[in-house]
Structure 1
């Protein structure tokens, strides 16, 4: 697997949107290709897939927190090797986070190769990768429908969210933590006017669950003072009084869990993934066969290696820690993620409402049908919409 690391600073949302729009002209020549405007849903035959018929699809409208994610049998859907080998480049912001594990494992175990895909993973920050995805210089992005993505789609780019990644285990307390003042109860912590430390800006998908948690306590994205900090500084700032509250990720929240000085206010919605795979024009329009093959390999990897509580297998934990280059003890310190390739109905609407509240949305809200495409993973599991 090949990776390339860049250290360019994150661009403000408005600047990124302007840059995306500026790249449209550069990509127009490719869009003139008749094949580039093909609709992946037209003239495509969806056949039943062995091992996926019973539980390989769930109703996107099911938002129950205890919803069981879709699952096929181990090893399903079976590979369908393309006649001609394709080179696919996928960008990701990191290769060490647990939510990237299925992508990493699919490369490591040769699941993409079984489909006739030569997948190269490049480490690129989302702001760097988005213009490349829109122009077709890379094929896919392991990211999320963040504000910059939605603003780019609003500007006319062919980028769609085509598969999800995970939701948190109910036992996880990754999310918004606050330092309690004397006499305060964890049941109600006045959040309006307080400082909030996060390494994730207002334009991240985390704005959605953060908004929900804040509103339960009299706050809101427009009523708190955001302090963007480095990943190593968020917890320190919360503990030393630099900020009143902070969004703590796995496994950092373990440092304050159980301490009566802190309260957990809420995290990612149960059963609702907020990120995953973004496809650009290459896999959506020019070569949807390769797009389906990519998703087939990803889904097979989830079903084979991440179907349940994968951390119960000590040998697999050792293998996973080595692959992600993190300590086994760190990996074991948090519950297994609930890997989930399906996209829930209305998620992009709820995300955009949070972006608008935070003041980072540009233009009119993007309709779900323009931002989400479930048809390729439906084909991969043999589901006829």
Structure 2
């Protein structure tokens, strides 16, 4: 998402989902629960985390405080043998990828005995590689292609979140108002939406939610797939009636009374993050926990609060992401969050069904999510 999570076009998702399912039997290890879940692991209390290092997944309050440990916590626990890990990501230029990039730059993974390489790969290309063990993890989201892949036999689970939006963010669904309309009275059924994000992306869930508040729904609007540079232009020149605008594009229409913001990603609910395959779920969960420990420590040390209030850090971040500092400063800080809320994959699959891009019956959360590795990293025991 970006929502600010990794995005995949509808056309690509639909074309490649068939390929994923066709190869699932060959490249999936098996369909049993991950070793991290099946075998009891010793979990010790972690200094600096305590009660604040974990929140109940059932807490869906938009204003909930995300889990936080003290800066520098959880402390590194170096593995006896160095592991080389390859992590796929759709981009290295998006703000939501910054914790991973900074963890590499600051040596947080090395402190754990991990030699981490971040490799740019689109989600559909990376999924079969993740299932086969050719890569170790994926910084992405549980998109429709992921759910369909798991249904087909891929041993992949969502193991950590990435972020939720700041309440001041207006990244999301924008509509050009007709005469007599206001933000509280917009008829969305039958309108044309421009988006670079397909129905198979996690953004389908908040998109469907926002549309239904205004008489629409994914099945009641027309979609027009556009390039990232064309979405705003099409909205402004009348080519489409509405658009899903990402950071920082929405700033171009914010405050203009001709347009209204109808909703974005749910506050307090990450929709993407880390996907693990068999390498870190089954074969080497110690390395999986070590990776999450470094990621969580980076969030606690550098992204715990409103990190954009520190000009020096914003400058460092802009250099890391190879973007202009002014672009970063034009939008609120992301609310970095490594936890996964209860029921998120249920809600995502419901949206995929409404969009017509899901296969088969919905998967239970036990097949799609594994929180145990990040719980171990912060020392939480149920």
Q: Structure 1-normalised TM-score?
A: 0.94
The reply on whether 1:163 has 2:157 as its aligned counterpart is no
Distance 1:15 1:125 in 2: 14
The residue aligned with 1:214 is: 211
Deviation at 1:172, TM superposition (A): 0.4
Aligned residue for 1:23, secondary structure, equals: helix
Deviation at 1:12, TM superposition (A): 3.6
Moved over 3 A (4+): 8-15, 36-41
RMSD: 1.8
Partner residue of 2:367 out of 358, 365, 370: 370
The reply on whether 1:45 has 2:45 as its aligned counterpart is no
The residue aligned with 1:59 is: 56
Contact 2:25 2:152 in 1 (8 A): no
* 1:265-312: CA deviation from partner (whole Å, max 9, x where unpaired): 001101011000000011000110000000000000000000000000
Deviation at 1:185, TM superposition (A): 1.5
The reply on whether 1:355 has 2:339 as its aligned counterpart is no
Task: Map 1:252-263 onto structure 2 (within 5 A).
Answer: 252-263=249-260
* 1:316-358: CA deviation from partner (whole Å, max 9, x where unpaired): 0000000000100000000000000000000000000000000
Aligned CA distance change for structure 1 residues 74 and 237 (closer, same or farther; 3 Å): same
Task: Map 1:235-250 onto structure 2 (within 5 A).
Answer: 235-250=232-247
Partner residue of 2:338 out of 328, 336, 341: 341
Distance 1:13 1:308 in 2: 35
Distance 1:327 1:219 in 2: 37
Aligned residue for 1:277, secondary structure, equals: strand
Aligned residue for 2:218, secondary structure, equals: coil
The residue aligned with 2:312 is: 315
Aligned residue for 1:361, secondary structure, equals: coil
Contact 1:11 1:127 in 2 (8 A): no
Aligned residue for 2:274, secondary structure, equals: strand
Deviation at 1:25, TM superposition (A): 4.5
Deviation at 1:42, TM superposition (A): 1.3
Structure 1: where are the runs of 5+ without partners?
1-7
Contact 1:65 1:271 in 2 (8 A): yes
The answer to which of 184-193 and 314-323 deviates more is: 184-193
Task: Map 1:295-334 onto structure 2 (within 5 A).
Answer: 295-334=292-331
Number of aligned residue pairs: 375
The residue aligned with 2:226 is: 229
Distance 2:212 2:22 in 1: 37
Aligned residue for 1:200, secondary structure, equals: coil
Contact 2:200 2:352 in 1 (8 A): yes
Deviation at 1:39, TM superposition (A): 4.4
Contact 1:293 1:380 in 2 (8 A): yes
Contact 2:9 2:198 in 1 (8 A): no
The reply on whether 1:15 has 2:12 as its aligned counterpart is no
